[in-house]
Amino acid sequence: MKKLRRLLFRLLILALLITVGIIAFNTFKFSSKQLQVAPVEKIGIGPESIERMAEAIRIPTLSYDDRVDTAAFLAFNAYLDSTYALVDSLLEHKTVGQFSHVYRWPGRRPGLKPILLIGHIDVVPVEGKSLEEWSVRPYSGLIRDDYLWGRGTLDDKINVIGALEAVKLLLTEGYQPERSIYLAFGHDEEVGGKHGAQAIAQWFKQQGLEFEYVLDEGMLIIKDAMPGLDRPLAMIGAAEKGYTTLTLQVKLEDGGHSSMPLGESAIGILSKAVATLEAQPFPAKIEGLAADLFDHCGPEMSMPHKAVFANLWLFESLVLQQLTASPGSNAMVRTTTAPTILEAGVKDNILPTSANAKINFRILPGETVESVTEYVRQTIDDERVKVMSDLNFSSNPSKISGTETFGFSVIRKTAQEIFPEVITAPSLVIAATDSRHYGEVAASIYRFQPLRLLQADLKRIHGIDERISLDNYRNAVRFYRQLMLNSSK
């Protein structure tokens, strides 16, 4: 017996040594995937450029589900015509759907595929109690404390004005690109992009255009993005999650008076179904873009984090446990489930015969609206709960754009030239952008905003006291200018 115990102990030690050796070997092989890029000289961005951005913020281009603020968008049209007269005179300019804009800057070499930089003009409203919580008037365009304040500074007039300012700079320098450059600015992204980006993309398709790459809003540069990562992380979105909202409906034959409740109520059945979905979320997994993100970030981490991400074969369950504990990182590794609306009852002493719930899902690449719907039906497993989807307001995840393409390479190179302290990595965008409408005219679509933010700043997007630092604004203009130069090959 003693010999057997000694043998088992030796085998255990041997297994431990082998495991440690594999961990050490994998960690040693876990080499950097970052480009070696020299920073470019910072060009000057004068106060007049900042004031032009402020003027754009002062026009409240609001979009709603059923309408847009027509007067504001007409004012923005006039603002573009007058403020960027040089751009308008030297580039081809087309208006789509009355309020969306397309600019074409012809290149010297028509044989090269053009590039497309997109953004959106519309902003979400500031209404009700949230209006009282702002430190400044939301559409004031106030410049204070080295920040420009107002709705649209982060989402998404920075992309629109940043790109136009970059074109204006290059025009004054007498520059002409080798590759044609298109700018496309939709006016209804916040409500789906039907009359803006969708119409623009359809027009591009009719023209037979195919773009080398498309760049839209999306991921950002975040400091302290991950434990063990000291440098800011520039995440370049190579895909975005899908979107669907399912309606759960329960209808019973009998209602009645609340003084004589039945054994089960419509509200109770529905509540159980919602609770079941929350208790049994979609499985979390590190694959696809999540795996690519960690492959690019992991080698830059300090120990022991580097060793962990170099050996996910051993530590994946531990990493997933940490990732799923945070809402942001949880959304990167699974299809998320979010109950958003409950409807039932008309009076406190009447038992309702029906109850409805709306559950919003953001769908991971590899899954579809159909597979999500089927998962919900199987998980609830109750014929009394009807599961309905509205395909008109649903979209499957986008295709994943490559990381070995010209587009990805030029975007990450430009990011490192303008922000030399960052590391770059492909990532998954968990929200929806206009870029999803351009899949038929480009194989390579990326989502990145050249803005360096703290974690605390993220809540300002669609939130209270939206603002952009003046340094961030200047660097955004520099980024778009440098991107156009780098893409002209």
Tell me the C-alpha distance between 200 and 196, whole Å.
Answer: 6
Q: Active site includes 189?
A: yes
Q: To 5 degrees, how large is the angle CA 295–CA 301–CA 303?
A: 120
Residue 253 annotated among the catalytic residues of the structure:
no
Residues 6+ apart with CB under 8 A from 1: none
CA dihedral 445, 451, 455, 459 (to 10 degrees): -80
Cis check: omega of the bond before 39, within 30 degrees of 0: no
Could you give phi then psi for residue 190, rounded to 5 degrees? -65, -15
Alpha-carbon distance of 151 to 141, in angstroms, equals 8
Residue whose C-alpha is closest to residue 146's, from 478, 472, 475: 472
Look at strands 92-96 and 100-105 and give their pairing. antiparallel
User: Choosing from 122, 156, 188, 457, which is the catalytic residue?
Assistant: 122
Which has the closest alpha carbon to 99: 205, 200, 211, 218? Answer: 200
Amino acid at 233: L
User: How many whole angstroms separate alpha carbon 450 and alpha carbon 222?
Assistant: 10
And the tokens for 43? Answer: 């060009």
Phi-psi group of 193: left, alpha or beta (phi > 0 → left; psi -120 to 50 → alpha; rest → beta): left
Token pair in block for residue 395: 């979209």
Catalytic residue from among 156, 189, 300, 417: 189
Residues annotated as catalytic (active site), given as ranges? 122, 189
